[in-house]
Amino acid sequence: MKRRWPYLVLVLLVALVAGYFWATVPVQYAAPASPDAGVRNNPYLAAQQLLDRWGRPSRRIFSTRALFPLPDTDTTLILDGDRGSLGYERQLDLLNWVHDGGNLIIAGRYQPPLDAWFDEADEAEEAEEAESEQHEAEQGQQRDPDPLLSLFGVTVEALPLEDTEDDPLVQLFDRFRPMEDWFLEYCLSGDASEERLHQCEVLTCEAPGHWQPPAVTHNLGDHPRRLQSETPSRLLYTPLPEDTATGGPDQWLAASASNDTGETLLRFRAGAGTVTVLTELGLWDNQHLHHFDHARLLADLTAPGPVWFVRGIDIPPLPIWLWERFWPAIFALILALAFWLWRRLPRRGPLWRDPARQHTDYLGHLRAIGHFHWRTGQSDRLLASLRQQIQRRIALQHADPARALALAAKRLDIPEHTLSQALEQTPTDRAQCVAMVALLQQVRQRIRSQP
């Protein structure tokens, strides 16, 4: 009986674990998560990834001046509404590029209405300015705020703003907007059941009505597309005069999109290319690309080639900006670098010196010869002459060389082996050579002085 207890306990544990997984259901929830820096710094990251999946390489241009020289005509240029002034010549270059077959998408500049800038106390002044602007418009002297759109006969008109500060529904919607983002993340995670797929599709693809109802396209493909713009503005189109050379219109309206408030999209055929004007590019940012038919519209309006998202900053690229503002400092640095290279580069042949300043030093010449012999391993040649003089003196002491060396060492009071090393051994270092020369000079002087 005692041997069965472990098996019973093991069976009980297995039954408890199986009962836990059978009786419980996993709970799924969505937690808020902040996007990374790549998503925060690039509002069109989702659109670019979608274009890359379609085989249309995309890139971002951080200056309208960086467009020039313009790319090939198979490229689609998307210019946002915050672009700087291009200048008349570059506007003509852009227009000629479109007529050659380029595809251009422009976002109109939103101009807030006048009543949004003044208080109620300035209503009289506002009325006077409105009357003056109306008078100028009647005379045809009103200035277009966007000269690039005026090339295509398009102007942007601001819609009157509605007072929604005291609307409780708007405040409630703004308060619960983070919950919408959490649910969207939950739907995109792929953990939703089949029963909730339709609800997720409706909530993620149908944008809430913030400002104006969705616009529907006309004459753009076989199926109409729906898009929504959160910018309170509309587009006005004035047909351009006919071209006197061809007798027909220089451009014509090919497609459009409108709602109850007016036109939201205008698409023209200009020569061999196309121009599309939108009230804004917010429909293609990371938060609105999945709404309605915005992604399908991106595919319809872009060409099969590369797509460039041009950020409207009126600042040239960094090398051009540095040259325009700091060219004296850059030029001075280039001169300093050239002078330093001229000083450091090797020259052919020795440097020229004035012969009048060259002084012949015999002692320096001897030192140079001695240093040369010592550096090339010819130290014995330095001592040969001195050793020969001493050996001739020692040979006069006796016929036998060994006996003569012993007598000379005894007479000079120098150890015989020390004198023998000085006369025969090769010095190994500089100190030994100096000591050997000093000894040999002392021996030569003493031998000369003795009879």
At 74 the three-state DSSP class reads coil
Task: Express each pLDDT in 394-425 by its tens digit.
Answer: 777 777 777 877 877 777 778 878 878 777 77
What is the DSSP annotation of 27-64?
----------HHHHH-TTHHHHHHHHHTT--EEEES-G
Which range, of 4-8, 102-106, 142-146, 203-207, averages the lowest pLDDT?
A: 142-146
What is the DSSP annotation of 298-366?
HHHHS-SS-EEEE-------HHHHHHHHHHHHHHHHHHHHHHHHHHHS--SSPPP--GGG----HHHHH
Of 140, 181, 151, 18, give the one whose Cα is nearest residue 79. 151
- What pLDDT is attached to residue 336? 94
Q: Which amino acid is at 381?
A: R
> Considering the chain, what is the average pLDDT of its residues?
76
**Which residues in 133-160 are b (16+ Cβ under 10 Å) and which e?**
eeeeeeeeeeeeebebbebbbbbbebbe
Q: Are 303 and 55 in contact (CB under 8 A)?
A: no
Q: Report residue 65's pLDDT band, with 50, 70 and 90 as the boundaries.
A: confident
Task: Express each pLDDT in 240-259 by its tens digit.
Answer: 777 665 555 678 888 999 88
Report the percent of the chain where pLDDT is more than 70.
71
What is the DSSP annotation of 180-234?
HHHHHHHHHTT---HHHHHHHHHHHHS---SSSPPEEEESSSSS--EE---SSEE
H or E stretch covering 444: helix 430-449
Which class for 270: exposed (0-12), middle (13-18), buried (19 or more C-beta within 10 A)? buried
Alpha-carbon Rg of the chain, whole angstroms? 48
Kindly give the pairing relationship between strand 76-79 and strand 307-310.
parallel
pLDDT(182) > 70: no
- What pLDDT is attached to residue 141? 38
pTM: 0.55
Rounded Cα distance between 275 and 256, Å, is 11
- What pLDDT is attached to residue 184? 60
